[in-house]
Structure formats: structure tokens, C-alpha cells
Amino acid sequence: AQGCSALWVLRFLTGRRAILRLRVRNMALCAPRVRSIVTLGLSGFFMNLTNSLVQVVCNATLQAYGGDLYVGVMTIINSLREVFFMPVQGLSNGAQPVTGYNYGAGQYSRVRRSIRFSVAVTVAYAAAFWAVAMLFPGMLIRVFNNEPEVVEAGIPALRIYFCLFIPMSLQMAGQGVFVGLGRSKQAIFFSLLRKAVINAPLTVILPIWIGTTGVFTAEAVSQLIGGLACILTMYFTVYRPLGSLPDQPLERV
């Protein structure tokens, strides 16, 4: 499937319909450009890496405190997270070219509008999923497993895990702005903050006092702190300062 997808993309990018075609003579590497691309890409890399590492910690902790039942519950929750998280990533990634293009063109009012739009749409989608997860957790779990003990254990776990899904969507929107504007340091920092700095330690510490509930609570706490820290930083360092900058005149070619 990945091979077919890659061939389709290459065919499009080398065909007549592409505005900028891929050509071998233009594939020479430029060190400063490669460095910029790599540093911006590290945000997504660290997010996926820390997600995987935290998942290892979660499974090990749940195995110790709850056994195979809760490892299975976490597997279901992670599957739901991946499915419903993809549109949030898509919205964030789709807004980045618009944000970056207008920032480079000096159209700061458009940048602010794109930020407002991406944040509003992301939060609206997250709120819709949050409502479904809070109201119909059993229905979501039964898509994967109908065993009564799994459903019974999974309903409260799912509600705790996703109870602060909306603040987490704010982190994705904020990180998308940082990446779109080329601010790799902030993007990487918030990728590491939520999972590596907050989630992983709490996943180990909280179960000492509250058992398996602590694993799911650790995720909720990291969503709240990470999401608010990212969106507030973006607001005070990007969105608000751009409001005081006049738009540059557009050049006609």
C-alpha cells in the first residue's frame, strides 16, 4: 500500500499537472536548507518517538498494576486516539503552508486569520469527538471488543483518558503555527514537554497511589498542561505581536 501511494505521488509530481515538477537536476542538496528542513521535521519526529516511548511505559505499568485486561483496554484507547487524532493533524498540517506563505509575504493580518481559523476548526472537531467519547464510551469500545469485562474496565478509563482532549488539540494547533513560521525550537520543545517531561514520569508515579487509573490520569494531565502551555506561548509570542505589524504591500509579477 505504501509503495502504491509513493508511485502515485511521484507520478503526479513529475507530471504535467504539477505546478513545480520534480527534476533530477534540481535535486542537489543545500546544507542550510537541509538543516532547516530537518530541524522543522524534528517536531513531528519527537512527537511520534515520545508517543512510542510513553506507550511502552504505559503498557509496562498497566501490566504490573492491572494485568492483560488493562493492557487490552489501553490498546483499544490508542486505536481510537489514532483514528480520531488524524483529522486534528490534518487540519494543523493543512494550515501550515497558508500561515508560512502569508508570513513570508508580510501579510500579517492573513496570518492571524489563518491562526484563528485553524484553532477554531481544530477545537470544534476535538469538542465533537470529546462529546462522543464522554457520552458513548461503551459504543466506541464495542467496535473493538464486546467482552463485558473489557467494556466495564474500558468505559471509565476511556473517559479519563479523553476528558481533556480539547486542550490537547490546542497544542496541535499551536505547534502547527510554530512549524509553519519556521520556529523549530518552540515546536520541538512542546513536542517533548507533553509526553517526555509530563506524561512519562506521571505514568510511573501516579499508579503508586491510584493504581491503573493513574496511567490514564497521567495522559489527561499532560493534555491539559501541554495544550495550555503551547497555545498561550503561541498567542503571546506570535499571534499578539503580529497584530501590531502593518501588512506589507503585495508585489504584482
The per-residue pLDDT for range 172-202, each reduced to its tens digit, is 899 999 999 989 889 889 989 999 999 999 9
Q: How many C-beta neighbours within 10 Å does residue 105 have?
A: 15
**What would the mean pLDDT of 77-100 be, rounded to a whole number?**
89
Helix (H) or strand (E) holding 244: none
Q: Which pLDDT score is estimated for 253?
A: 44
pTM to 2 decimal places: 0.87
To the nearest 10°, report the CA torsion of 108, 113, 114, 116: 130
Q: Which pLDDT score is estimated for 128?
A: 95
CA distance 44 to 175: 9
The per-residue pLDDT for range 15-33, each reduced to its tens digit, is 888 888 888 888 888 898 8
> How high does pLDDT run on average in the chain?
92
The answer on pLDDT for 251 being more than 70 is no
**What would the mean pLDDT of 134-155 be, rounded to a whole number?**
95
Whole-angstrom CA distances from 29 to 25, 26, 189, 214 are 11, 9, 27, 48
3-state SS assignment for residue 157: helix
159: confidence class by pLDDT, cuts 50, 70, 90: very high
CA distance 129 to 131: 5
To the nearest 10°, report the CA torsion of 219, 225, 227, 229: -160
What nine digits make up the cell of 40? 522543522
